[in-house]
Structure 1
Amino acid sequence: MVRTPADDNTCRAELHEAAQELEKFRQIVETAELGVVTINENHEVVYMNAAAEAMFGYGRQEIMGGDLSPLIPSEHRERHRNYVERYVRTRRGKLIGHTAELEAERRDGSRFPIHISFSTAEVAGGLLMTAILRDLSKEAGLEREVRQSQRLAILGEMVATVSHEIRSPLALIGGFARQLERDPDLGEKSLNKLNIITHEVERLEKILNELGDFSRPHKYNWMETDVSQVVEHVAELMEPEINRAGAQLVVSRNGSLPPVMADTDRLSQVLINLINNALQASGEHPKVEVSVEPESEGVLLEVRDQGPGLKPETIREIFTPFFTTKAGGTGLGLPVARRIVEEHGGRIELANRESGGAVARVRLPTAPAIQQKLPLDGV
C-alpha cells in the first residue's frame, strides 16, 4: 500500500493530538497537591512530581533513577524492598489498591505522617508501582491547635473565676501588711515577717497577671512594622535596667528588612522577655547580643546570651506552662511569648550555641505572607 501526503498529514495530526493529550495529563499530575512517586521493578524511582519534591525536600534530579530508600525511614527500607520483590514475583500484595497511614522521612531526617495509596500498571512489558501521598502533618497541627484552643478556653474561664475570688483578699492582705510595715514600734523580727508577706503577695499577683495574659484571647493592633525599630525601642526602654545590672546589650541589624505585620507592643513584650531571660542566664556583667536580619520567608530575630547553655530536657520543656529553672519564676513568660509569636504567623525556638550560651530565634513572615494567618478581629 502506497502512503500519500494526506496519510502523512493525518498521522502527524494524530500524533500531535496524542502528544497534547499526554501533556495535559502530565500537567495535571505535575501540579497536583498530592505527592506522586513511581518506581519500577528494581525499586528505582522513575517519576516524582513537584508536590513530592516539596514534601520530602529532595529535587527530583537527586532521586529519579536511584533507589527509593532515601524517602523511607531507615528501619523500614529492607522490608519495603522485600515487599516490592515479592509483589513482582507473585503479583499479590496487601496494600495494592488500598490506603494506609504511614511515616515518611524528609531529607533533614525529620519524620512526618502520610496518607498513602498504591497502584500498579504494566507498561512496555514492565511493572510500575505508584504511590500517591498526602502529608498529614498540617492536619495533625490543625487538630493540635483546635485542642489547644479548647484547653485555653477552659483555662481562661477557670482563671477568670479564680482570679476574681483571689484578687480581692490578696489585695487586702498586701495592703494591711504594707500599713503595718510603717509602724515605728514594730520589732525587727515582725518587720521581716511582714516583708515576706508583701513579697509573696506581689509574687502571687504577678502569677495571676501572667496566667491571665496566657489564657485570655489577645487583641492585636496590626500594622506593617520594621522589626529593627522594635528592637531599638526595646533597647532604649531597657537601658536603665541594663545599666543597673552592669550588663551590655549589643544590637546589630544585617541587611534591608522586609516589613512584617505585627502588633509592636506585643512584639516588644516578647523581646523584653527574651532579653531578661538572657540577662539572668549570663551571670555577673552579662553581655546580650540581639540581631535582626532578613531571611527567605521574612525576618530572623536572635537573642544570644553567654550563659552555661540549656540542658536537653530543659529545651524540651522550656515552653511548657509553669516549667521554670529560675527561683521565683512563674514559668509563663516563654509560653506567652510563643503564643504571641505564633499568632503573628511566626515561630520561636531556643537552642544552644556552638560557642557557648543559648540563643532564642524568632522567625516572622513578611507582611503579605501573614495576611491569611491573622486572628479574627476581637480575638
Structure 2
Amino acid sequence: MNRIPPITPVPIQTPNRSMPSLQNILVIEDDPDAAESLSDVLSVEGYNVTTTACVQEALNVLDSQAFGLILTDRRLPDGMIEDRLPEIKSGCPETPIIVVTGYSDLQAAIVAFRHGISDYVIKPIIPEDLIQTVRRIIEKQELEYQFQQEHAFAERLQSTAEAIILVLDPDGQIVHFNRFFTELTGWSQQDLIGENWFDRCIFEDDLSRLHHVHSSIIRSGGHRGITNRIRCKNGEAREIRWSNAKLDGDESESDYVLSVGIDVSDLAEVTKRAVRAERLAAIGETVAALAHESRNAIQRMQAAAEVLALDIRGNHDSEEELAVIQRAASDLSTLLESVRAFAAPIHANLESANVGEIMQRAWSDLQNKRQGRDATLTVPSDHCQHVMEVDISRMEQVFRNLFTNSLEACEDPVDIQIKCQCTDDDIRLSVIDNGPGLNQDQVTHLFEPFYTTKSTGTGLGMPICQRIIEAHGGAIHAESQPGQTVINICLPRTLPGSHDPSFGPNDA
C-alpha cells in the first residue's frame, strides 16, 4: 500500500456548512500510516475525520453517526469495496463515496460507479487535488441540502398557510395548487391539474372580467385586489381576494401566473348581511306603513266585492270578472303579508325539540296540499332523533316551505328523502326530492329576495328560510344535481349564548 507523502497544507477557504454532518468524513483504510496521513490532510481543512480499518467497522460507525463523505480504499481486509458498496449504500444512500486505489481497473471502476460512488482516485494521491475533490463534493452536498431545506420550508409554508397558492400557465391551465386549496374547495390534484381554471372553477358571470385580468398579468406583471367567487367541488361558492404576479420563464418555458388568495367568504357574508339588514329595516318600515294603509283599503275592496256579488248573482260574466278582482285583492294581501314577514325581525323563542318530530308535524300541516297526491316523506327511523334548541314554530315554517316547494315542483309520485348526520355539536340535514333539479343559475339566486322559478309566488319563501336558519346560527344552501333538488341545512345543537340570562330575541 502506497503511503501518502507529507505535504505542506494549502490554505483553502472552508465552505460555510449549514448541516453539521457535512463536515464529518469517514475514512476506511487498513494501512495505519495512510489512514493517519489522510486524517491529517482532511483535519487541517476543518473536517472531522473518523477512521476505520475495514468495512464491518465502517458499518458499525454508520449505524450511529452521519457523515458528509466516505473516503475508502478499494482493497480491504474484508473484501473489495465494489462488492461491499451495496451494504454501505443501504445504510447511507445519500452519502457520497470516493474510492482510492493503487490499481487501475476499468471494469472495477465501472462497477463502482454503477453502485453510486461519486469519484474514483488513483494513487499516488496528490493532496491538493484530493482536497479540491473533497471540497467540490461537500459543496455539492451543501447545495443539495440547502435546496432540500428551502424546498421543505416552501412545502411547509404551502401546507400550513391559510391561503390559496395557485399557479396557472398563459392559457389558464392549472399547473399547481397547495393543500389549503384542497381543504377549502374539495378539489384534489387529480381533479384539476392540467384542467382549465376558468372552465372548472370560475362562475360564468365572472369569466369575461377574469380572462381580461389573466391576460393583463401575462402582458404586464402583477395585479392585486381582485375579488371573485370560485366554485368548490360540491358546487358551493367561496369568495377569494387575490394577489397575482407573473413568473417569468426562461427561453424554453412560458410565463406563469402565481396567485395567492385569501378566503374572505365570511367577511363578504357579514358585509352582505349588514347591507341586507339595513335594506330589510328600510323595507320593514315602508311595508309596515304601506300594510297599515293598504289593509283598510283591501278590506273595503273585499267587503264591496261581497256586496256586489249579491247584486250580480246569476250574471255569470260579471261573476267571473268579480272573482278576478277578489283573487287580485287576496293576492295583494298575501304579498303584503309575505313582505312584512320577510322584513320583520326574527324573535327566536328557543325550546328543546326533536328535529324529526318537527319535520313530521310540518308534513302533517300540508295534508290539504297533499290530498289526492301520491307523495311520501321518508325520515330514517335511526336518525334525526337528537334534541336541539330551536324556535319550534319557525323551524316548522322552514320545513313547510321546503316540502311545499317539493310538492309544487315534482310530478307524482313525489318522493322526499331526509338524510341526517348528527353529532354532539350540530345536525346536518339534506332535504332531497325527485324533482327536475336546479341549474347553476337557480342555485346561485335561490336565496335572493323576490327570485322565483314559479309562475306565481313572491320569491320570499327561501329567503325567509335562510333568515330563520341563520337566526339559529346555522347555514342553508342548495346543490345543483340533475334529477333531484338537494337543500342542505346545518344547525348547531345549542345556539351560543342561549343559556346566558342576558340572551334575548335574535334579530337577524
TM-score (norm 2): 0.50
Letter of the 1:302 partner, please give it: S
Q: 1:104 to 1:177 in 2, by over 3 A?
A: closer
Determine whether 1:320 maps to 2:320.
no
Distance 1:105 1:315 in 2: 14
Determine whether 1:170 maps to 2:298.
yes
SS in 1 for 2:467: helix
Aligned to 2:464: 336
Q: 1:139 to 1:268 in 2, by over 3 A?
A: same
Letter of the 2:150 partner, please give it: N
Aligned to 1:45: 155
SS in 1 for 2:431: strand
Aligned to 1:197: 325
After alignment, is 179-188 or 359-368 more displaced?
179-188
1:362 to 489, 498, 506: 489
Contact 1:305 1:357 survives alignment (8 Å):
yes
Distance 2:226 2:315 in 1: 71
Percent identity (aligned) = 24
Shift of 1:234: 1.6
Structure 1 unmatched runs, 5+ = 1-38, 60-68, 77-82, 84-92, 117-131
SS in 2 for 1:309: coil
Contact 1:103 1:111 survives alignment (8 Å):
no
Shift of 1:325: 1.9
Contact 1:261 1:370 survives alignment (8 Å):
no
Shift of 1:366: 2.0
Shift of 1:74: 6.1
Q: 1:335 to 1:316 in 2, by over 3 A?
A: same
Cα offsets for 1:211-253 (capped at 9, x unmatched): 0000111111012332112112222332343234343333334
Cα offsets for 1:256-281 (capped at 9, x unmatched): 65433210100000100110110011
Q: 1:56 to 1:105 in 2, by over 3 A?
A: farther
Distance 2:477 2:461 in 1: 14
- What does residue range 260-275 of structure 1 map to in structure 2 within 5 Å? 260-275=388-403
Shift of 1:50: 5.8
1:181 to 309, 329, 335: 309
Shift of 1:210: 0.5
Q: 1:201 to 1:318 in 2, by over 3 A?
A: same
Aligned to 1:65: none
Contact 1:253 1:292 survives alignment (8 Å):
no
Aligned to 2:46: none
SS in 1 for 2:380: strand
Letter of the 1:363 partner, please give it: C
- What does residue range 141-152 of structure 1 map to in structure 2 within 5 Å? 141-152=269-280
- Cα root mean square deviation, aligned: 4.2
Letter of the 2:478 partner, please give it: L
Cα offsets for 1:349-379 (capped at 9, x unmatched): 222445x121222221221657599985363
Distance 2:367 2:380 in 1: 16
Distance 1:111 1:265 in 2: 32
Distance 1:323 1:112 in 2: 22
Contact 2:335 2:458 survives alignment (8 Å):
yes
Shift of 1:104: 10
Q: 1:220 to 1:327 in 2, by over 3 A?
A: same
Contact 1:152 1:215 survives alignment (8 Å):
yes
Distance 1:270 1:190 in 2: 40
Cα offsets for 1:287-307 (capped at 9, x unmatched): 333344425852122322222
Distance 2:228 2:448 in 1: 28
Contact 1:305 1:359 survives alignment (8 Å):
yes
Aligned to 2:434: 306
Q: 1:204 to 1:102 in 2, by over 3 A?
A: closer
Distance 1:370 1:357 in 2: 37
Distance 2:441 2:340 in 1: 27
Distance 2:225 2:465 in 1: 34
2:334 to 201, 206, 223: 206
TM-score (norm 1): 0.65
Shift of 1:140: 2.7
Distance 2:481 2:222 in 1: 48
Shift of 1:344: 1.1
Q: 1:301 to 1:170 in 2, by over 3 A?
A: same
Q: 1:201 to 1:138 in 2, by over 3 A?
A: same
Q: Give the total of aligned pairs.
A: 300
Aligned to 2:180: 56
Letter of the 2:428 partner, please give it: L
Shift of 1:163: 1.4
Distance 2:438 2:360 in 1: 27
Letter of the 2:456 partner, please give it: G
Shift of 1:144: 1.8
Determine whether 1:249 maps to 2:373.
no
Aligned to 2:407: 279
